[in-house]
Amino acid sequence: MARRKLQRHSQQFATRAIHVGQEPESATGAITVPIYQTSTFAQTAPGVHKGYDYSRTDNPTRTALQAALASLESAAYCLAFSSGMGAATTAMLLFKHGDHIVSSRDVYGGTYRLFKRVLEDFGLTFSFVETSSAKEIERVMTGRTRLVWIESPTNPLLRITDIRAAAGIAHRHGALCLVDNTFASPFFQRPLALGADLVLHSTTKYLAGHADVVGGAICLNERSLYERLKFLQNAAGATPSPFDCFLALRGIKTLALRMREHEKNATHIANFLKDHPRVRRVYYPGLSSHPGHEIAAAQMDGFSGIVSFEVKRGLAEARRVLGRLKIFKIAESLGGVESLVELPAIMTHASIPAEERTRAGLDDGLIRLSVGIENVEDLVADLKQAMGRKVSIRLKTAVSAPA
Ligand SMILES: *Cc1c(COP(=O)(O)O)cnc(C)c1O
């Protein structure tokens, strides 16, 4: 096979993000990995080819992306998919009728939907528990448990699970541990080093980073598991296009730079909101008051760029704030260079019945920010004006009007 050999992880993260899997192309010296926009590859004799025979199975642009991602997760292997959910669906094809899966309770909505509304019909069973408590995980493990699926930090309350502890429980019961690492990105958290078996990404978010492509990936170390997943990737066919791989690769080159800025801005904004009179609560793993802060500080290299907060007066006030924000755009998704804002009760988590939302701690006045990498003073000023009292805004406008 002519597949490029994975380079060793000896260089620093920012260097690997730019170079691993991305050596100049051999025929022309092109610095950037080309978009190999081809479905098939010429064979010199039947069955004799240069490592590529059909683009669902393998494509050189995808090979480059997979090598780069594997390196960033300090993994031996990576497989790229057409979306995060494509990756999740393919991962779940490892299991069969009768298998039991333990999942974080506030797992990504699309993952919950896949588990509850698709895979239960295929005879898989699920227990959704608060995985931030090791006792809770332990309590639901059975002889048929094959997987512990964790998200940390979670969406939108940024709950933290001790990955090492969860993986330990999974392994003692002969199960695998998968971590959806989308919210942290490999720049801030590398779950395989903490004992997880599989790392899943929606590359749509921080990894690609520019809100211009949907993609997914799974990274892992174990060879036989990789071979099974590689078979399933080709068998199920949720593979990314060469252009999508190119976009994800281009985004990854600046991951280190972007993540530092996301975190710096998010920290600043979390501290601004914490002291704001109209805010009841701020959720950000970097705040020492955040439940799980100590574990996050121990298992992560930083706290990433998502900040959630509750306004005191509930949904009406939250709506008003969103209506007034100018730089923060109202949109689902996260992890791009631009700042986004959303109301979980109405947008990402609307499909959860109100009662269950309340039980899960999702207040109707909860606002989630995906803090971008714009100038932080501009972002704070935007929040300040959006959250100011109507009357004070009017006064301020009147005073500054002549200018
Ligand atoms: C977006 C997201 C997914 C799903 O990824 P898609 O690329 O949208 O299919 C999975 N997990 C998390 C945590 C996400 O944020």
Probe residue for ligand 1, chosen from 81, 85, 113, 159 as the CB with the greatest number of ligand atoms within 8 Å = 85
| pLDDT above 70 (res 395) | no
Q: Which atom of ligand 1 is nearest to the CA of 85?
A: 9
The predicted pLDDT at position 7 comes to 45
What residue owns the CA closest to ligand 1's atom 4? 84
Residue 211 C-alpha to ligand 1 middle, in angstroms? 13
Atom of ligand 1 nearest to the CA of 111: 10
4, 53, 56, 274: which one is catalytic? 56
pLDDT digits (tens, 9 = 90+) for 324-355: 999 999 999 999 999 999 999 999 888 778 88
* Active-site hit among 205, 258, 281, 368: 205
Q: Is 180 annotated as catalytic?
A: yes
Residue 335 CA, closest ligand 1 atom number: 15
Q: Is the pLDDT of residue 396 over 50?
A: no
Angle at 119 between CA 185 and CA 57, to 5 degrees: 60
pLDDT of residue 30: 97
d(CA 68, CA 19): 8
Task: Give CATH for domain 13-252.
Answer: 3.40.640.10
More confident residue, 397 or 143: 143
- Ligand 1: which atom is nearest the Cα of residue 214? 7
Among 108, 112, 206, 284, which one carries the catalytic annotation?
Answer: 108
Q: Kindly report the number of other CB atoms within 10 A of residue 142's CB atom.
A: 12
Confidence band of 398 (pLDDT split at 50, 70, 90) = very low
pLDDT score recorded for residue 344: 93
Nearest atom within ligand 1 for CA of residue 151:
13
Q: Which atom of ligand 1 is nearest to the CA of 203?
A: 7
pLDDT of residue 297 exceeding 70 = yes
Give span(s): CATH 3.40.640.10, the chain: 13-252
Q: What are 378's two structure tokens?
A: 């501009």
- CATH 3.90.1150.10 residue window(s) in the chain: 256-400
Q: How far is the CA of 62 from the centre of ligand 1 (A)?
A: 19
Q: Give residue 6's pLDDT.
A: 43
Min mean pLDDT across 36-50, 107-121, 379-393 is at: 379-393
Pocket of ligand 1 (CB under 6 A): 83-85, 108, 110-111, 151, 155, 180, 182-183, 202, 204-205, 214, 216
The whole-number average pLDDT for the span 263-278 is 97
Q: Is 108 an active-site residue?
A: yes
Give the per-residue pLDDT at 49: 96
Q: Is the pLDDT of residue 392 over 50?
A: no
Catalytic residue selected from 58, 162, 180, 364: 180
Instruction: List residues bridging with 219 in a β-sheet.
Output: 78, 199
Read off the pLDDT of residues 168-199 as tens digits, 9 standing for 90 and up. Answer: 999 999 999 999 999 999 999 999 999 999 99
User: Per residue in 72-104, pLDDT tens?
Assistant: 999 999 999 999 999 999 999 999 999 999 999
Task: Tell me which residue has its CA closest to atom 11 in ligand 1.
Answer: 108
205 noted as active-site residue = yes
Distance 328 CA to ligand 1 centre (A): 21
Among the atoms of ligand 1, which is closest to the Cα of residue 88? 10
**Phi first, then psi: what are they for 165, rounded to 5°?**
-65, -45
CA of 147 relative to ligand 1 center, distance in Å: 19
Is pLDDT at 2 greater than 50 in this prediction? no
- CA dist 218 and 200 (Å) reads 5
Burial class from Cβ neighbours inside 10 Å (0-12, 13-18, 19+) for residue 399 reads exposed
For residue range 352-371, what is the model confidence (pLDDT) as tens digits?
A: 788 888 888 899 999 999 99
CA 375 – ligand 1 centroid, Å: 27
Cβ contacts of 381-387, under 8 Å, gap ≥ 24: 382/325, 382/326, 382/327, 382/328, 383/269, 383/272, 383/273, 383/325, 383/328, 384/272, 385/324, 385/326, 386/321, 386/322, 386/324, 386/325, 386/326, 386/328, 387/276, 387/278, 387/279, 387/311, 387/321
Residue 352's pLDDT is what? 78
Phi/psi zone of residue 78: left (φ > 0), alpha (ψ -120 to 50 degrees), beta? beta
Tell me the HSE value of 136 on the side-chain side, using a 13 A CA sphere.
15
Residue 400 has pLDDT above 90, yes or no: no
Within 325-378, strands assigned E span: 329-330, 340-342, 366-370
Pairing of strands 340-342, 329-330: parallel
Dump pLDDT digits (tens) for 182-241.
999 999 999 999 999 999 999 999 999 999 999 999 999 999 999 999 999 999 999 999
pLDDT attached to residue 9: 57
Give pLDDT, residue 390. Answer: 57
Q: Which CATH superfamily is domain 256-400 in?
A: Aspartate Aminotransferase, domain 1 (3.90.1150.10)
Closest residue by Cα to atom 8, ligand 1, is 84
User: In the annotation, is 50 catalytic?
Assistant: no
Res 261 pLDDT > 60: yes
Question: Which residue has a Cα nearest atom 6 of ligand 1?
Answer: 84
Instruction: Determine the distance separating the centroid of ligand 1 and the alpha carbon of 202, expressed in angstroms.
Output: 5
* Alpha-carbon radius of gyration of the chain: 22
Average pLDDT, the chain: 94
Ligand 1, atom 7: closest residue by C-alpha: 84
| Ligand 1 center to 291 CA (angstroms) | 24
Q: Which long-range contacts (CB under 8 A, 24 or more apart) does 9-16 make?
A: 9/71, 9/74, 13/72, 13/186, 13/187, 13/256, 14/256, 14/257, 16/68, 16/71, 16/72
What was the pLDDT predicted at 402? Answer: 44
Q: What is the pLDDT averaged over residues 57-66?
A: 98
Ligand 1 centre to CA of 8 (Å) is 29
Is residue 394 scored above 80 in pLDDT? no
